[in-house]
Amino acid sequence: MNKYNIMFKNLAFFVFLLAYTSVQAQVTPAKIVHPDENMAPINENGPVMEFESMTVDYGTIEKDADPLRVLKFTNTGKEPLVIKNAKGSCGCTVPTWPKEPIMPGETSTIEVRYATNRLGRINKNIKITTNEGPNPHIIKVVGTVLEKAEEESLPSSTPSMLSGEGGE
């Protein structure tokens, strides 16, 4: 074989490989995504977790304010709902969820605790994994933590010798 035959065979193989991969890329089916990316695919006979709100809003609070907020949800499906896991996006956001199954039609809560000793904006997420399907629910945790307002000191109301009150 001469040099041109080898080069032609290599070029022909490369063109074949390029054509094959482009055909395969076009034949691959598209992934179907649920319209609400935060919702797991709905099995019409399975559990369905519906929240009152997809956001836990602390509002504007002072440093060291009450860290607890409650997130309500209902199982609107036809089978028991099991929460497999709930995890905050960092250690400052800690969810506590029911470990027992939530029956169809039943309402329950997830407790959320944020470390309110941290100053600044709150912008965290909680990822909730259930037996609904592979997609987790993503709950936003928002708010702002401000420094405590300084209290004005008031004059003492106890009598003193300097004021001429009290004493003998």
Rg (CA), the chain: 31
- Do the domain assignments include residue 101? yes
- Do the domain assignments include residue 2? no
Give the predicted TM-score (pTM) of the model: 0.65
Residue carrying the six token digits 């907020």: 69
d(CA 114, CA 95): 9
Q: State which residues form the domain around 136.
A: 50-146
Domains identified in the chain, total number: 1
pLDDT for 134-158, tens place per residue?
999 999 999 999 998 876 665 556 5
> Where residue 114 sits, what CATH number does that domain have?
2.60.40.10
The reported pLDDT for the residue numbered 33 is 41
Phi, psi for residue 81 in degrees, rounded to 5:
-95, 130
The reported pLDDT for the residue numbered 68 is 97
- Do the domain assignments include residue 142? yes
CA 48-78-110 angle, to 5 degrees, is 40
Sheet holding 120-130, edge to edge: 55-62, 137-146, 120-130, 83-88
pLDDT for 31-79, tens place per residue?
334 444 555 455 678 999 999 999 999 999 999 999 999 999 999 999 9
- Do the domain assignments include residue 156? no
- Do the domain assignments include residue 134? yes
d(CA 103, CA 65): 34
- Do the domain assignments include residue 110? yes
- Do the domain assignments include residue 9? no
Per-residue pLDDT at 96 exceeds 80: yes
Write out the two tokens for 160.
């003193």
The reported pLDDT for the residue numbered 91 is 94
The reported pLDDT for the residue numbered 32 is 36
DSSP, collapsed to helix, strand or coil, labels residue 7 as helix
DSSP, collapsed to helix, strand or coil, labels residue 42 as coil
User: How much is the mean pLDDT over the chain?
Assistant: 82
Query: Is the Cβ–Cβ distance between 89 and 83 less than 8 Å?
Result: no
- Do the domain assignments include residue 116? yes
